[in-house]
């Protein structure tokens, strides 16, 4: 079966453009979207059935779903292993953290954040805060964590529900603090046993 896809290179949220427009009070400027291109793919019947089921479950069009899958593969999945990012079950990671003290987890998070520039450059070919946020969003999608992202007048908010316990909240909050420090941002994440919220100015 054939599927025609109309695609463009627009990300889920354009952080670079948000930074440019953050000083505009009325929101009178608009993003110029790149021109779309149309291409036709041929899939077997079973694959088409699975794609349709996923599109219905997510309440999006088949075209949007396939565009998302391709984009996330090209912008994250294809290079994640090269960046040293490997999948691990939530249960295994939670059990590993349980035997560590809060101080040990903080030290590991700080050490892990030191090589974040290598990861971001490999995945986005530049080391900027906009690239870092784009990688963060791709990583959240890959993990399956529920998250909410809002942006208003240049202020960014991420609320992440990981359901992995207090110690993962410690690790993630400390890791993000040390990553953001590399961009001159000092953040104070708000955490609970299963959630973390991070808010800061993009400028």
Q: What is the pLDDT of residues 153-182, one digit of tens each?
A: 888 999 999 999 999 999 999 999 999 999
**DSSP 8-state code for residue 82:** G
* Average pLDDT for 18-45: 61
User: Across all residues in the chain, what is the average pLDDT?
Assistant: 85
pLDDT in tens, 76-95: 999 999 999 988 999 999 99
pLDDT band at 40 (very low <50, low <70, confident <90, very high): confident
pLDDT in tens, 93-128: 999 999 999 999 999 999 999 999 999 999 999 999
User: Where are the CATH 3.90.1520.10 domain residues in the chain?
Assistant: 87-201
pLDDT in tens, 53-81: 999 999 999 999 999 899 899 989 999 99
Query: What pLDDT sits at residue 23?
Result: 42
Query: What pLDDT sits at residue 65?
Result: 92
Q: Does position 26 have pLDDT exceeding 60, yes or no?
A: no
What is the per-residue DSSP string for 26-62? S------PPPPEEEEEE--HHHHHHHHHHHHHHTS-H
Q: Does position 34 have pLDDT exceeding 70, yes or no?
A: no
Helix H or strand E encompassing 104: helix 102-113
Q: Which is nearest to 80 in space by CA: 133, 146, 124?
A: 124
CATH number of 87-201: 3.90.1520.10
**DSSP 8-state code for residue 136:** H
Query: What pLDDT sits at residue 15?
Result: 61
Query: What pLDDT sits at residue 98?
Result: 93
d(CA 105, CA 172): 10
């Amino acid at each position: 079966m054939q599927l025609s896809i109309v695609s463009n290179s627009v990300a889920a949220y354009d952080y670079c453009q948000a930074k440019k427009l953050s000083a505009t009070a009325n929101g009178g400027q608009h993003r110029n979207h790149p021109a779309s291109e149309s291409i036709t793919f041929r899939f077997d019947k079973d694959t088409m059935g699975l794609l349709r089921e996923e599109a219905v479950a997510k309440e999006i069009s088949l075209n949007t779903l396939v565009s998302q899958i391709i984009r996330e593969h090209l912008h994250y999945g294809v290079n994640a292993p090269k960046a040293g990012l490997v999948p691990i079950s939530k249960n295994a990671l939670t059990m590993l953290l349980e035997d560590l003290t809060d101080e040990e987890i903080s030290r590991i998070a700080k050490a892990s954040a030191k090589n974040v520039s290598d990861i971001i450059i490999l995945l986005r070919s530049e080391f900027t805060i906009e690239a870092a946020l784009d990688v963060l969003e791709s990583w959240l999608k890959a993990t399956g964590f529920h998250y909410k992202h809002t942006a208003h007048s240049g202020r960014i908010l991420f609320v992440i529900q990981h359901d992995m316990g207090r110690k993962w909240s410690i690790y993630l909050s400390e890791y993000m603090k040390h990553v953001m420090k590399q961009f001159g941002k000092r953040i104070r994440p708000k955490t609970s046993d299963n959630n973390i919220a991070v808010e800061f100015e993009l400028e």
